[in-house]
Amino acid sequence: MTKQPVLFIGHGSPMNAIEDNAFTRSLAEMGKAIIPKPAAVMVVSAHWLTSGTYVSVNPKPETIYDFGGFPDELYRIKYPAQGSPEFANEVIKLIPEIHEDSNWGLDHGSWAVLKHIIPKADIPVFQLSIDYKKPMQYHFDLAQKLKPLRDKGVLIIGSGNIVHNLRLWFSQTGSESLDWAVEFDEWLKNKIMERDFQSLINYEKQGKAAELSVPTVDHYVPLLYCLGLTEESDVIEFVYEGVESSLSMRSIKIG
């Protein structure tokens, strides 16, 4: 199999699943550029938080609507991809302390972006959970152990947002970028270009901008998995950039 890239997607609102905009068009272009097709897709989503780390072995994952208050059209979407117990078990072989889960489906951190990247839903998809109790270094180190999956044809996607402050998002009257959000997003971009991943693991040392940008770690951790999966030879591209109020939509292709 040809080695697959790693994608970090700033997924934003669930509404992106049904909207045609610059961001969703960038997802479609990303999907077209992935040649050959992956054997499977593994998603580390901000929306599957657990105590302990789990991998889904569900052969037929259901579409999960883990949100409320959106148009009915959004709840009618189905993403009927098959699961991949085969590759999920490869994860457990690599890291035996990871537990299997047979019930989890595909949350909107997965299907809302895959709907554009792989619109035919013809590639198996499974998810890896985020152990919410673990420190940032744990997630980066765990990801490094998963690198062999890329060589086996697994496309790995981290789905979250680098800047994700919904409390301030809902308090704003417009989408004008907030200064501290732009500051943190640009700092992170520069650190990735320098491959200074340790600074990104210790992001909280950036003070107030970091505190406001990452009020909870759920949407930040998927980025650390992507960085941990990075090889020295990988080209890193910023395939989408933009800060909307207190939300960064930055998306990254590695490899």
Q: Can you give the residue ranges of every domain in the chain? A: 6-254
pLDDT of residue 102: 98
pLDDT of residue 23: 97
Residue 21 CB burial class (10 angstroms; 0-12, 13-18, ≥19): exposed
Model pLDDT for residues 83-93, shown as the tens digit of each residue: 999 999 999 99
CB 26 within 8 A of CB 176: no
The per-residue pLDDT of the chain, averaged, comes to 96
Q: Calculate mean pLDDT across residues 138-160.
A: 98
Residue 172 has pLDDT above 80, yes or no: no
Token digits of residue 80: 């009927």
Token digits of residue 186: 């640009």
Burial of 59-82, coded b for 16+ CB within 10 Å and e otherwise, reads eebebbbeeeeeeeebeeeebebb
Which three-class secondary structure state does DSSP give residue 140? Answer: helix
Q: Distance between CA atoms of 202 and 212, rounded to whole angstroms?
A: 15
Residue 173 has pLDDT above 70, yes or no: no
Residue 145 CB burial class (10 angstroms; 0-12, 13-18, ≥19): middle
Token digits of residue 123: 């590639």
Q: Calculate mean pLDDT across residues 185-197.
A: 98
Residue 174 has pLDDT above 80, yes or no: no
Model pLDDT for residues 94-144, shown as the tens digit of each residue: 999 999 999 999 999 999 999 999 999 999 999 999 999 999 999 999 999
Dihedral in degrees, nearest 10, Cα atoms 89, 6, 112, 223: 100
User: How far, in whole angstroms, is CA 240 from its chain's centroid?
Assistant: 14
pLDDT of residue 130: 98
Helices (H) and strands (E) in the chain, counts: 11, 10
Terminus-to-terminus CA distance in the chain, angstroms? 15
The CATH code for residues 6-254 is 3.40.830.10
